[in-house]
Structure 1
Amino acid sequence: MATGLLALLDDVAALVKVSAASLDDVPTQVAKTTGKVSGIVIDDTAVTPKYVVGLDPKRELAIIWQITKKSLINKLLFLGPAALLLGFFAPKVIPYVLMVGGAYLCYEGYEKVHSMFGKHHTTENTPLDEMEETTPEELEKDRVRSATRTDFILSAEIMAIAFATVAEKPLVTQIAVLIAVAIFITVAVYGFVGLIVKADDFGLFLAKKSRTAAMKGFGRGIVKFMPHFLTWLGYLGTAAMLWVGFEIIVHGLTFMHHPMESFDHALGSIPVVGWLLRVLILALGGVVLGFFIDKIVRLVKGMLGKK
């Protein structure tokens, strides 16, 4: 009996050592995953501020907090467990899930590019009677719902990529990495978004309350700079959406993945130029793929009699 107890203790000790070694690997895997999803994170950060534009400035942080909570709940309670279940029962499906998400990112990116160069619906051409029917509370709820839907798609991509990064690791590592990635990226993205949307308020405060002319000028500079910053952040987010989406497609298709690897090796001696060319090629590929998906979507809607 004593021998059996010692054997059990040895097994427990071995399990603890394996778990500890797995947890030691978590920061490395989180850093690796964060690098792989950087494009999606940039896009998420760039897209979110538009959902609070035009609303009561006093409600901006409260709205961002609502989106943050919903994003974290989706990652921890739905998307993370879904990735683990798929990895256990149908691991071969994950690359296809990633490619579907990549195709969606290309489609969304193309729609944004198209809206930049075409006519799009704004409050400037909205009839007054339609605008008056929506209360501030309803508009806020609608913005939160819309932001949560967009975040859900991007979060699904993040969690799928996070799982793919640790698919060969022990279960303890997989769970720890998914939880760490969900918390870290959500806090980082929406913390930064909060700073962005309140930056003009901070600049206005400096411009009005500062005692020195230099600080007042600095505050006015922030107020003038933020609209341009948000515009360029939107462009960056669109580019990130296109290149990340198409890169996921390229990675999942062998006949496209190998030529891209050869391209990377050919430009290995000039890494910065090579990276810029790679991003440009992937972004253009994303625009082309998004264009064809858009035509298919319009065709299907036409067949179904939808606008």
Structure 2
Amino acid sequence: MSGLLALLDDVAGIAKVAAASVDDVAAAAGKAGAKTAGVIIDDAAVTPKYVQGFAPARELPIIWRIARGSIFNKLVLLLPVAMLLANFAPWMITPLLMLGGSYLCFEGAEKIFHVLFPHGDKHIEQDMSIQDPGHLEEKKVKGAIKTDFILSAEIMTIALSAIEAPNVWMQAATLAVVGLGVTIAVYGSVALIVKMDDVGLFLANNSRTGIGRGLGRGLVRFMPVLLKILSIVGTAAMLWVGGSILVHGLEELGFGWLGHHIHDIAYAVGHSVPAGWTAVVEWIAKATMDGVLGLAWGMVLIPLTTKIILPLWSTVSGKPAAH
């Protein structure tokens, strides 16, 4: 009996440790996930374009295929690499973060450049020329998963840099929770967004009350506005996150003067308003300066990428440059 009681006591002790570990993982995942907010917003804003033009019945299956690819990207491809970097080459994390931040700056700046200087997109024109819906769907899904890989790499790297775990297993578990949580948040939101107009159309045609039909028509009319808002917010988030990553990376590498100047200016702006608004205004000022820096760096990268890097990659790989 005493042996059984001792065993039960040990099991209870293990359960307590396991419960504490779960709480630690959840807390660390929440903290790390918050750091990736800007990239998540952009991911959610970018993804709906991949189902545009398809029959409503194919929208959710396409999103599910992309979500599965995203989970594979994060947990099978990126998680092992992240753990190897964290434990054997931690010095590479900051340069990789800055590389990912530069990519975000480039993408955000390119979107603004397209608005200021509209021109045709040969890749969109190629998609429109594809007559086979199955072939077009396959092409769209592969393109979405490829884009997701880049954004997922940035999310996982940002999360990794924010995780403070006592051991490698806790670190891996936290990163896996962040990866799954982000995927569910992004593609769950995308599924709601792309089906909202169908819900509105159903209400407009089938609701028994005038209020219901009016709500349905309102949803249908609001969806293009919502997608536009998401696109703007996503672009701003890319530039803000990209710029802040570059500033923080420079500080980590010993070049902290830019970050200090931004902090001092934001502090002065924040303390020029009534006390109740100080923190909010200071944050807005810092985020704005990070975003402007991200835009400036992205504009520098546009000709560098399109005229040098992509053609060089095309020559080396033997494949046509694609973006």
With the shorter chain as reference, the TM-score category is: 0.7 to 0.9
Q: What is aligned with 2:185? A: 188
TM-score (norm 1): 0.88
Segments of 5+ residues of structure 1 without an aligned counterpart are: 1-5
| 1:23–1:176 Cα contact (<8 Å) kept | no
Q: CA offsets, 1:61-98, max 9 Å, x none? A: 00000000000011011111111010111001001110
Distance 2:12 2:213 in 1: 63
Distance 1:52 1:23 in 2: 37
> Which amino acid in the other structure matches residue 297 of structure 2?
L
Distance 1:286 1:122 in 2: 24
Q: What is aligned with 1:198? A: 195
| 1:102–1:244 Cα contact (<8 Å) kept | yes
Q: How many angstroms does 1:259 deviate by?
A: 2.6
* Aligned CA distance change for structure 1 residues 132 and 253 (closer, same or farther; 3 Å): closer
Q: What is aligned with 2:288? A: 280
Q: How many residues align?
A: 296
Distance 1:133 1:211 in 2: 41
Q: CA offsets, 1:209-266, max 9 Å, x none? A: 1100011001000000001110111011011011101111111112223333334444
Distance 2:187 2:139 in 1: 19
- Identity across aligned pairs (percent)? 45
SS in 1 for 2:155: helix
Structure having greater relative contact order (Cα 8 Å, sep ≥ 6): 1
* Aligned CA distance change for structure 1 residues 172 and 20 (closer, same or farther; 3 Å): farther
Segments of 5+ residues of structure 2 without an aligned counterpart are: 1-5
Q: What is aligned with 2:3? A: none
CA RMSD of aligned residues (A): 2.7
Distance 1:85 1:302 in 2: 29
Distance 1:216 1:303 in 2: 53
SS in 2 for 1:203: helix
Q: Mapping of 1:128-143 within 5 angstroms?
A: 131-143=128-140
Distance 1:65 1:17 in 2: 36
Q: CA offsets, 1:153-211, max 9 Å, x none? A: 11111111111112553223211111111111101110010000000000000001110
TM-score (norm 2): 0.84
Q: Mapping of 1:32-47 within 5 angstroms?
A: 32-47=31-46
Is residue 2:259 matched to residue 1:257?
Answer: yes
Greater mean alpha carbon deviation, residues 217-226 or residues 11-20: 11-20
Distance 2:21 2:232 in 1: 39
Is residue 2:28 matched to residue 1:51?
Answer: no
| 1:166–1:173 Cα contact (<8 Å) kept | no
Q: What is aligned with 1:215? A: 212
